[in-house]
Amino acid sequence: MTSEWTIGIIGGSGLYAIDALEEAEWRAVATPWGDPSDAILHGRIGGVAVRFLPRHGRGHRIPPGEVNTRANIDALKRCGCTDILAISSIGSLREELAPGRFVVVDQFIDRTVQRPASFFGTGMVAHVSMAEPVCPRLSGFAAVAIRDAGGVAATGATYLAMEGPQFSTRAESLLFRQWGADVIGMTAMPEARLAREAELPYALVGMVTDYDCWRDAAAFVEVSEVIAQMGANGAVARRLVQAFVASLPVERTASPLDTVLDHALITDPAARDPVVLARLDAVAGRVLRRS
């Protein structure tokens, strides 16, 4: 395992570039899962390698349900990423999480229904644990970075991932609050699941743009208001990326998440489909080459 960091940054709505990136160069990456959302921006911040991918593509041309998340995660793995920091715009399901707040997520409720959620399938079956779906080490660095960037951080939040692209009905929004969800978005699932399968420690920072429609006295969510808040959040997000990378220890010590596939593969080697294995060369090559 490498002792150097290569940080993959997945930028969501409001974060389409990283100003602090040095030696920046966009590079196209081919994957067996199709095209990722965009080319990958390679560069460095200080001594740390950074790979930036705008989740919706430059110009925000891809809707949430059509983001090719398998290709995105595979492409970041092929670019040598050791860890992923994802940044997303979110709606708030709690009064105290006002627009402009930054939220470090630690749990998910997945309500997406139309998106491929695994790299594995018939011909190569694997089961990874998602009990603790984010990396606590990265999440800790992210919380500090938010404050260093001038943002207000909340931690320990549960994210409800909805299919979209429409916003919630009021009945849904009220139900999600009863379930214990704190924030709502459309992109973190299956992204977190696929990062785990690719043995990439993952943390998610959510940028609150609006209150979801659960508040009786409030107006419905309007895209124009969301876009205005996204602009303000994006300025802080760019600073937090720089602060996050600057906070990393010089040496990257191994994470238990680096080797989650060691005990996840279940298909007998004699029954594995070579075509499926070929698609998994980046994601699971570490374990497949030795088994």
Report the half-sphere exposure of 290 (CA within 13 A, side-chain side). 6
- Catalytic residue, chosen from 35, 210, 262, 273, is 210
Cis status, amide bond into 165, omega within 30 of 0: yes
CATH of domain 86-288: 3.40.50.1580
Q: Would you state the structure tokens that stand for residue 65, as one six-digit string?
A: 């349900």
Assessment of whether the complete model's pTM goes beyond 0.85: yes
Cis status, amide bond into 190, omega within 30 of 0: yes
pLDDT for res 263 = 94
- Catalytic residue, chosen from 106, 110, 182, 212, is 212
Q: What is the spatial distance between Cα 279 and Cα 281, in angstroms, rounded to a whole number?
A: 6
Confirm whether 262 is a catalytic residue: no
pLDDT in tens, the chain (291 residues): 568 999 999 997 667 678 788 999 999 999 999 999 999 999 999 999 999 999 999 999 999 999 999 999 999 999 999 999 999 999 999 999 999 999 999 999 999 999 999 999 999 999 999 999 999 999 999 999 999 999 999 999 999 999 999 999 999 999 999 999 999 999 999 999 999 999 999 999 999 999 999 987 655 666 667 777 777 777 888 899 999 999 999 999 999 999 999 999 999 999 999 999 999 999 999 999 886
Confirm whether 210 is a catalytic residue: yes
